[in-house]
Amino acid sequence: MDRAQKEKMVEELGQIFESSGVVVVAHYEGMTVAQMQDLRASMREAGGSVRVAKNKLAKIALEGKPCASIGTLLTGMTVLAYSEDPVAAAKVAEKYAKANDKFVILGGAMGNAALDQAGVKAVASMPSREELIAQIVSCIGAPASNIAGAIGAPASNIAGILSTIEERQAA
């Protein structure tokens, strides 16, 4: 890799560290190409990406970034899993780590906060953006359906009372 390629790589990694909602750092030593492709496909489905980069270049890219503290995790054969959604990459990485013992999560970063293994696991257990939106919509929709039922109930009650009165008058 010549100097221009290294500078481009550092710039790309810097963008990843700045714009990603979450970055997960993991060891992947011993994984096959097929396993890595499976991880990449799973991450792509969730809206994230996987990047293998030289640790030295990643550390240079981290300088001055809010998540610079994860530089200590960059030792050995590391891979970066990241996504704009603050939960997606952590969910996929955690799920993949359970299925593949050669993929070991070291930690990561979520915005300014550095995460250890437990932190990544906690982020992975959080609901995704889509799940939160669905929960909010259901919460908003429930009172509206209750109001519609309450508005319609007196009308049906009045209709029932009127029919009862008519039956009594006819008898």
> pLDDT tens digit string along 17-75?
888 888 999 999 999 999 999 999 999 998 899 999 899 999 999 888 878 888 889 99
Cα 122 to Cα 24, 86, 98, 108, distances in angstroms? 12, 12, 14, 12
**Measured distance CA(1)–CA(116) in Å, rounded:** 32
Distance CA 107, CA 85 (A): 17
- pLDDT tens digits for range 118-167: 888 988 888 777 777 777 777 776 666 666 666 666 666 676 777 788 88
- Which one is predicted more confidently, 90 or 147? 90
Residue 31 DSSP SS3: coil
For 124, the 3-state DSSP assignment is helix
* Strand order from edge to edge, sheet including 113-115: 48-51, 78-83, 22-27, 104-110, 113-115
Instruction: Return the residue matching tokens 């300014």.
Output: 112
- pLDDT for 149 equals 63
Closest-CA residue to 13 (of 109, 140, 134, 133)? 109
